[in-house]
């Protein structure tokens, strides 16, 4: 017996995500995970707070030395994050 009305799992997941309004949360989580991956474990541990809104990633860094090092590399970090995500999700990185 062959089914005629079937839906691929990726289409079903896309519908579910859109129907329940989960796009923003998933996007934010992907950006945070990409940040951790790009900056590495050392700087990831020093990042005490992350906030993402309007394509801006705000990160609070607990060490001023680490913040300065990340500030110098912020454009490169932004580029790598967007490459990982496959789309321009981060337009600016603000370090506090």
| Helical packing angle, 23-46 and 9-19, nearest 10° | 90
User: Does residue 4 form part of some domain?
Assistant: no
What is the reported pLDDT for 14?
87
User: Does residue 2 form part of some domain?
Assistant: no
What is the number of structural domains in the chain?
A: 1
User: Does residue 47 form part of some domain?
Assistant: yes
Token pair, residue 56, equals: 């801006």
What is the reported pLDDT for 90?
96
What is the reported pLDDT for 1?
61
Task: Kindly report the backbone phi and psi dihedral angles of residue 56, in degrees, each rounded to the nearest multiple of 5, phi listed first.
Answer: -115, 135
User: Does residue 3 form part of some domain?
Assistant: no
User: Does residue 36 form part of some domain?
Assistant: yes
pTM of the model: 0.83
CATH number at residue 41: 3.30.300
User: Does residue 43 form part of some domain?
Assistant: yes
**Judging by DSSP bridges, how do beta strands 56-61 and 47-53 pair with one another?**
antiparallel
Find the domain containing 61 and state its range.
9-95
Name the residue among 36, 26, 41 with its Cα closest to residue 87.
26
Residue 35's SS3 state is helix
Per-residue pLDDT of the chain (96 residues), as tens digits, is 677 788 889 998 989 888 998 988 999 999 999 999 999 999 999 999 999 999 999 999 999 999 999 999 999 999 999 999 999 999 999 999
């Amino acid at each position: 017996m062959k089914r005629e009305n079937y839906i691929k799992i990726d289409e079903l997941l896309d519908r579910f995500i859109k129907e329940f309004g989960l796009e923003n949360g998933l996007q934010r989580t992907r950006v945070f995970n990409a940040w951790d991956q790009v900056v590495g474990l050392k700087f990831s541990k020093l990042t005490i707070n992350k906030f993402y809104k309007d394509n801006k990633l705000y990160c609070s860094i607990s060490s001023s030395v680490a913040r300065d090092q990340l500030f110098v590399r912020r454009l490169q970090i932004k580029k790598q994050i967007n490459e990982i995500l496959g789309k321009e999700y981060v337009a600016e990185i603000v370090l506090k």
